A and B are shown apart, each in its own frame.
Chain A
Amino acid sequence: MRNKIQIKICVGTTCYVMGASDILTIQDELTPSISDRVEVLGIPCFDLCKNSANGKAPFVSVNDIIIDSASLDKVKEYILELTQKL
């Protein structure tokens, strides 16, 4: 049984206003075969937005790889690529 792909979405203040609220619907946006392989979690804060060297909010991690300036499309694309490799 494969481990589920873990998506962590930061729901802190900056990430939320910069687009995390849209990304929270991601499980509904994936096809059922992919959606079943994915687990979506919220986290209160990645502590990344305070340092511009980390990139821009919103921040999402997929299997602990951080994606900055995340968007629903960007994260979906990343997951599709990942599922093709795994």
Chain B
Amino acid sequence: MKYFIEVDYAQNYKYNQKICGDIFLLSKSENKNRIVFTLSDGLGSGVKANVLANLTATMGQKFVLNNLDVKKSANIIMKTLPVCSERKISYSTFSICDISSEGLVKIIEYDNPEYMFFKNDKLCKVSKKTIPLERKPFGKTEKLYYSEIKMDFGDRLIVFSDGVSQSGMGNASTPLGWRRDHIIKFITDEIKNNSNISASNLCNKITSHANSNDIMEPKDDITSAVVYVRKPRKLMIATGPPIDKAKDKLLKCKVKNFKGKKIISGGTTANILSREYNKKIKINLSNNNMDIPPSSTMEGVDLITEGMLTLSKVANFLEKKIAYKNLPENAAKSFIKHLINSDHVYFLVGTKINEAHQDPNIPFDIGIRRTIIKRIATALENIYLKETYLEYI
């Protein structure tokens, strides 16, 4: 699997609404080979819009994740879900996107602004197949658009609800709304400015800009989502001394040869590598958050932390989905920053047991390294959609 496919979305609710009429659902298939997402915009706003969008998006996700073709899924949705008798349109729009790990993407769209496909900073034309759907009782023919694209390194797919394209409508500078051509220019400029801009940053910028078009009082729910294909950012976490001293050199080799960022978690582990690398460790005592021990630096690695206490904090923060900006300033925050900014995380876990951790005089249960690492890996996979690899040494 050579690509890393990052998908993220950002939303702003319509002003004064406590519930969003846009729904974005995202998940990986069971075998982790596909990512599927659905964006639905419910008619109107508030609870009714939310329920209808949820119904539509959930159906879209479930069908496609269970290997029903996007076109068939769309057909069922269109025929099953209610239609507004006055406006003669479905109660919810949808864009369903099925992305394989090889970068093959199938998209079906109904009534959302059409998606944008960028290769680096260039917008690409996409040919789409129009699928007509007759709505007999209303004597109307709906149009669904189906397309397939192949994404490669540096490519981005951007979808958004009409809250984005219509943002600013009626204001002096944007009387007809933000409009497609200006959105294209905005995105092009952002990518030109930073060719590595993450999906997360870009969708937040788009949503933010739409929000400011509406002078911070969105006239409709605003949702944008970005898919970004890149080389995976790799991170290695080496924690715990190897089962026997003979393997210390092996630990050193694995860490040294790893191509990516490196965190050493554990005093004993850090000492081993300091000796093997012949480099000094410098502990940073200036920022002393008393909860967990301070972090350190050493030439050749990106971060050194203490082991079990820090790892426990990291596991807790990840599982509770605490926003990065709300974390206390300590070694766990630095640790999590590296995790968030990585795509593939490799855990190299030493299996030597430290009997001192089991001392009954210690006031609480320190825990077992393997268990805490498993918790961190599970949270990274399920909540943050990272890929993790575990190796025991």
Which residues from chain A sit less than 8 Å from chain B, CB to CB?
10-14, 16-18, 20-21, 24-25, 40-45, 47, 49-50, 56-57
A-contact 0/1 string along B350-370, CB 8 Å cutoff: 000011110101111010000
Inter-subunit contact A10/B267 (CB<8 Å):
yes
Complex contacts, A13 vs chain B, CB 8 Å:
266-267, 293, 306-309, 354, 357, 366
A18 → B minimal CB distance (Å): 7
Complex contacts, A47 vs chain B, CB 8 Å:
268, 271
B358 → A minimal CB distance (Å): 10
Inter-subunit contact A45/B309 (CB<8 Å):
no
* B304 interface contact, C-beta 8 A: yes
Q: Which of A12, A18, A21 meets B267, CB within 8 Å? A: A12
Complex contacts, A44 vs chain B, CB 8 Å:
266-268, 270-271, 274, 281, 283, 296, 304, 306
Size bracket, chain B contacts: 20 to 34
A10 to B274, CA, bound (A): 15
A39 → B minimal CB distance (Å): 11
Complex contacts, A20 vs chain B, CB 8 Å:
293
Complex contacts, A49 vs chain B, CB 8 Å:
354, 356, 359
Inter-subunit contact A11/B267 (CB<8 Å):
yes
Complex contacts, B361 vs chain A, CB 8 Å:
18, 56
A25 to B289, CA, bound (A): 12
B291 → A minimal CB distance (Å): 9
Inter-subunit contact B293/A21 (CB<8 Å):
yes
Inter-subunit contact A42/B363 (CB<8 Å):
no
Inter-subunit contact A12/B306 (CB<8 Å):
yes
Inter-subunit contact B268/A40 (CB<8 Å):
no
Complex contacts, B304 vs chain A, CB 8 Å:
44
A21 → B minimal CB distance (Å): 5
A-B contact count (CB 8 A): 81
A54 → B minimal CB distance (Å): 10
A56 to B294, CA, bound (A): 21
Inter-subunit contact A11/B364 (CB<8 Å):
no
Which residues from chain B sit less than 8 Å from chain A, CB to CB?
266-268, 270-271, 274, 281, 283, 285, 288, 290, 292-294, 296, 304, 306-309, 354-357, 359, 361-364, 366
Inter-subunit contact B267/A24 (CB<8 Å):
no
A20 to B270, CA, bound (A): 18
A50-B354 in contact given A44-B270, A45-B268 (Cβ < 8 Å): yes
Complex contacts, A57 vs chain B, CB 8 Å:
356, 359
B289 → A minimal CB distance (Å): 10
A21-B290 in contact given A44-B281, A49-B356 (Cβ < 8 Å): yes
Complex contacts, B292 vs chain A, CB 8 Å:
16
Complex contacts, A50 vs chain B, CB 8 Å:
354-356
- Which of B270, B306, B362, B366 has the largest number of chain A CB atoms within 10 A? B306
A-B contact pairs, 21 of them (CB 8 A): A10-B267, A11-B267, A11-B283, A12-B267, A12-B293, A13-B266, A13-B307, A13-B308, A14-B362, A16-B292, A21-B290, A24-B288, A41-B283, A41-B285, A42-B296, A44-B267, A44-B296, A45-B266, A49-B356, A50-B356, A57-B356
B126 → A minimal CB distance (Å): 54
Closest B residue by C-beta to A12 = B267
Complex contacts, B362 vs chain A, CB 8 Å:
14, 17-18
A24 → B minimal CB distance (Å): 6
Inter-subunit contact A14/B357 (CB<8 Å):
yes
Closest A residue by C-beta to B264 = A44
B280 → A minimal CB distance (Å): 10
* Other contacts beyond A20-B293, A41-B285: 11, CB < 8 A: A10-B267, A12-B268, A13-B308, A16-B293, A17-B364, A42-B296, A44-B271, A45-B268, A49-B354, A50-B355, A57-B359
Complex contacts, A18 vs chain B, CB 8 Å:
361-362
B118 → A minimal CB distance (Å): 46
Complex contacts, A11 vs chain B, CB 8 Å:
267, 283, 293-294, 306
Closest B residue by C-beta to A46 = B267
Closest A residue by C-beta to B291 = A21
Complex contacts, B366 vs chain A, CB 8 Å:
13, 17
Complex contacts, A14 vs chain B, CB 8 Å:
354, 356-357, 359, 362
A42-B308 in contact given A12-B268, A17-B366, A18-B361 (Cβ < 8 Å): no
